Amino acid sequence: MVAIEAAPLRFDPRVGTDQGSSRVFDLVYDGLLERGPDLELHPSLATSYETLDQGLRLRFHLRPGVRFQDGRPFGAEDVAWTLGSLRDGTVASPKSGALAVIRAIRAVDPLTVDLQLAEPAGSLPAELTQGLGILPRGSTVEEIERRPIGTGPFRIVGRSAEAVELDAFSSHWRGAPHLVHVTLREVPDATTRALELLKGSAQLVVNDLPPDAVPALRADPRFRVIEDPAASFGYLAFRCDDPVLRDVRVRRAIALAIDRPKLIRTIWRGLGLLSDTIFPPGLWARDEALGESGALPYDPAAARRLLDAAGYPDPGNGKARLRLVYKTSTNETPRLQAQAIQAMLAEVGIAVEIRTLDFGVLYDDIRRGDFQMFSLTRTSATDPGLLRLILHSASVPPAGQNRGRYSDPELDRLIDQAARLGDPAQRRPLYVRAQEILARDLPYVVLMIKKNVAVAPRQLAGYRNYPGGELCSLRDVRWQR
C-alpha cells in the first residue's frame, strides 16, 4: 500500500491536475515521452520524434504492439484523438493552453503522427509525458472518469473515496510489473502515514511524511530512505489583482519578512534548498544567480520601509498595518509553516488570518481564485515551459493555471519567444531573464526547492525517485524476501 496525502480528484489525464490524480496517471497511463530521473526526456509510447519543416512539424514514431488495458490496439488515431480533444475544445482543461500551438494533428499511418504547428515550439515535447496519457480513440471525459483505460503498467480494478486499487497489466509493452497489486490510499494526516509505515500497513510513502519523522526512519534498519534533489518547490502564492497584493512593494515586504532559512531548518528539518527560482539544480534553464547564494534575504527592517512606502504606516499601539487571509491545508507541516509565517509577518505589522481547509476544498478555492495568499507544493518543474502554464497572462483559468492573475508583458514576450526555439542554448538567456523578472515581481515567494524523500521497507527493492515525486518506478520494483 502507498499512503498518499489526498485521493485523486479526477481519473482523466486530460483534466486532472492535483497531486493525487497525477499519481494515478503515473501508473495507469503512458505518454508519448517520459521524463526520467535524470530530468531528460526518454521514449515511451513514441520510440522517437523528429522536427521537420523548419520546426513547424513534429513527427512521432510510435511503438508497435502496444495495447490498451481493455485489449484494444494502440495507434496513431488514439494519439490524434487524445491531443485533438484538448486542442479543439472538446475537453475543457487547463492543459489545453500548452497545446495551443498545434494547428493540426494527422495520423500519417498507424504508427506515425504529425503535429503541425503554428510556430516552432521547443517545450511542446515536454508536455507529452504520462501526465498527458494517451486514451483510446473516442473516449469522453465521462467514460474515462467512470472506467479509466490507459496503456500503463497498472490498471484500476477498484476505487472508493479513499483508495484506488490497481493490478499489474500483464500485457504492458515493457513487460508485466513485478508487483501484482498496488493500493493508493488516502491517509490525510502526515503523522498517521508515518505510523502506517512503522506498523507495516503501508509499504511506501513518497514526499508525504512529516519532516520530524525522517531522521528516525533513517536510523531504523527496517527501512530505506531514498533522498534526492526534487523538481518540486514549496511556494507562497499571491492573488496579484487583489487590492492590497497588487502592489509589488507589499509582496516584496512579505518576502523579506519571511525567514526562509529558518523555515527550512526547523519546520522542514533541512529537507529543502533556498532558492529564488522555481527550477531545480541541474536543469539547463535554471538561473544559478538566483540559487542559494543569491536568494532574497531575510530583512524585516526593509520590509517595514516598503510597507511605509506602499501606504501602510505603523499605526502604533501594537495595531496591524494591514490584514490578509492565508489558506493552507489541514496537514500538519503546512499548518505549522503557516503559523510560523504568520508570526514572522506579525513582526512587521501584517496580521494574517490562517484558514486551514481539507485539501479538496482548498484546491477548489485555489482553482476558482478564491484566495489572497495560499501555500502549496508544485511538482515536476522539469521544463521551463512550465512558466507559460502557471505565469503567462494568457494562462489565467480556465485556459491555464495562472491562478494569481499575474501579468507582465515582458515576461509574456520572453516565454513566447523561447517557446519558438528548439535549441536550449538559444532559449536559456530568455528564461534567465524571465526568472529575473519573477524574482523582481514576486507573484510567488519560493519558500524552498524540495528534496524527494521516499521511505520503504528494505525488502522493496529497486525504487528510484523521479524528479517530481512521480511513482513511475513502481513498475520496476520487486519484493525481496
60: which 3 cell numbers? 512521432
What pLDDT sits at residue 40? 85
State the Cα–Cα distance between residues 27 and 18, nearest whole angstrom: 15
State the Cα–Cα distance between residues 167 and 159, nearest whole angstrom: 12
Within a domain: residue 209?
no
The beta strand positions in 145-280, using DSSP E, are: 154-159, 163-168, 181-186, 205-206, 223-238, 272-273
What pLDDT sits at residue 385? 87
Torsion angle (degrees, nearest 10) of CA 89, 94, 98, 104: -10
Same domain, 127 and 235: no
What pLDDT sits at residue 447? 96
Same domain, 95 and 235: no
Same domain, 135 and 238: no
Q: List CB contacts of 288: < 8 A, sequence separation 6 or more.
A: none
Q: Give me the sign of the Cα torsion angle 74, 77, 80, 83.
A: negative
Same domain, 142 and 242: no
133: which 3 cell numbers? 496519457
Residue range of the domain that includes 366: 230-450
392: which 3 cell numbers? 503567462
pLDDT along the chain (481 residues), means of 10: 94 92 96 90 96 94 98 98 94 86 96 95 88 95 97 97 97 97 94 94 94 93 92 95 98 98 94 93 90 87 98 95 96 93 98 94 94 91 90 91 96 93 90 97 96 95 91 94 75
Same domain, 253 and 141: no
What pLDDT sits at residue 341? 98
> What CATH number should be reported for the domain holding residue 25?
3.90.76.10
Q: List CB contacts of 377: < 8 A, sequence separation 6 or more.
A: 19, 207, 232, 233, 234, 235, 450
What pLDDT sits at residue 107? 97
State the Cα–Cα distance between residues 475 and 130, nearest whole angstrom: 13
Query: Could you tell me if 81 and 74 are in contact, meaning their C-beta atoms sit under 8 angstroms apart?
Result: no
Domain boundary among 146, 164, 189: 146
What pLDDT sits at residue 305? 98
What pLDDT sits at residue 68? 98
Query: Could you tell me if 194 and 213 are in contact, meaning their C-beta atoms sit under 8 angstroms apart?
Result: yes
Same domain, 401 and 273: yes
β-pair partners for 35: 41
Within a domain: residue 113?
yes
Q: How many domains does the chain have?
A: 2
What pLDDT sits at residue 481? 75
Residue ranges in 321-470 assigned as alpha helix (H): 332-346, 359-368, 386-391, 409-419, 424-441
Q: What is the pTM of this model?
A: 0.77
What pLDDT sits at residue 413? 97
User: Whose CA is closest to 78, among 33, 132, 136?
Assistant: 136
